Amino acid sequence: MLVLVTGAAGFIGSYVSKQLCDRGDTVIGIDNVNDYYDVNLKRMRLQNLASEANFVFIQVDIADREAVNGLFQEYAFDNVVHLAAQAGVRYSIENPHAYVDSNLIGFVNILEGCRHYSIKHLVYGSSSSVYGANKLVPFSENHNVDHPVSFYAATKKANESMAHSYSHLYGLPTTGLRFFTVYGPLGRPDMSPFIFADAINRGKPIDVFNFGDHQRDFTYIDDVVQGVLKTLDTPAAPNAIWSGLDPDSATSDAPWRIYNVGNSKPVQLLYFIECLEREFGKEAKKNLLPMQAGDVKNTYADTSAITLNCGYSPAVSIEEGVSRFASWYLEYIND
């Protein structure tokens, strides 16, 4: 199978590319390798893929319509795993135009390629952030997500709607994956696990918002990759009992599907910090602050649908995941 993976230099994208290659697929990986965070980390991920004979990397910006169309013309892709995006809740407040370019314009370019070149299945990254102002937990794909509280979340919700229109109009099977706080080796330095680890190790204070009264459904990268591959191998299909009179928000009469990809075992943010303290043998210096704009108090994934339909089964505990992450972090900063 020939698979296009966008965001191949990204955290999830690099792991997905590796697993696809390891199981025998051929992967064309693309990324614009921007400097939103340390480019050296992105190059490190790509270096880990360099030994894969069935992996080809091409530096492309998905916002470049002609370049994206040229890729679809040149390669007869079977499936597409679209993980390229401008990430980050807080940065979307500072620079919303970056999210328009990548998450909206870039996504349309990918959809158009899939439409015109008969892609069998498009799997794309969404986010738990779309649950926004929803207070009902665990978060279910059947819940209403009409009230995002960050522009990043709004673009991800837009992606789900845009994908549905292409599934409805053109019969393109699309599956959106709402990722829940992904962490692990090679993780993004702008996310809380890396920020906390770095501060604790260096003896610097960490900003803990909402005075630490947060729960997060931290999901280890290996479990996330399992979710991506299992859904990729289970193309979205129309729901035969879907009704517009009582519409299910996770399925459709078109080949369109939404799944949560999480651990389903949320932990207190302060406990996550405590796990890091144990690994480093140091106590965190906590700067307790009020809730930050665009943030949500708790995340908790209901993963019953992806478990039932795709056989998803997260296996890495928070304690084991933090231990693996901390070990990698120490190697990374000492290289």
Q: Which residues are catalytic?
A: 152
Q: Which residue has the tokens 């289970």?
A: 234
Q: In whole angstroms, what is the distance from residue 241 CA to residue 12 CA?
A: 34
Q: In whole angstroms, what is the distance from residue 124 CA to residue 267 CA?
A: 26
How far is C-alpha 55 from the chain's CA centre?
21
Helix (H, G, I), strand (E, B) or coil at 52: coil
* Continuous segment of H or E residues that includes residue 197: helix 192-202
Look up residue 321 and give its DSSP letter.
H
- What are the CB-based long-range contacts (under 8 Å, 24+) for 234-237? 234/175, 234/309, 234/310, 235/120, 235/121, 235/173, 235/175, 236/121, 236/167, 236/173, 236/174, 236/175, 237/173
